[in-house]
Amino acid sequence: MKHSSHDASLPAAYRRLQKQLGELGWMTTGSLVERNKPGQGGPRYQWSRRVRGKTVTVALSREQFHWLKTAIANLRKAWAILAQMEKLSLQHMWTNIPGPPRRKPLSKITLAGC
């Protein structure tokens, strides 16, 4: 029995997740801060992220702030979609792909997330 990761017989739920992943736009990591302190010439925007183990913070324009806000949200959506895809993948493997003989059933910890 052939078990390809590009199997045309993927379940509909898995194919929907693939489609959602493919529809996401730009992605990046980091966090954003919008500061609105009176008397400082209007709003200020900052983006922080980890680079080689260090936190790097840069000032942004309003336009950059809004673009990054969408890109960060897209990455978080991608992570959530990938977690669902992983769960479906493991469920498929444990249910459909023969494993070795076992003396005891697999533990709940081993099957966690399935």
Tell me the backbone φ, ψ of residue 56, rounded to 5 degrees.
-120, 130
pTM given for the model:
0.80
Tens digit of each residue's pLDDT (9 = 90 or more) over 46-84: 999 999 999 999 999 999 999 999 999 999 999 999 999
Residue 29 has pLDDT above 60, yes or no: yes
Owner of token pair 């954003």:
32
DSSP state of 108: T
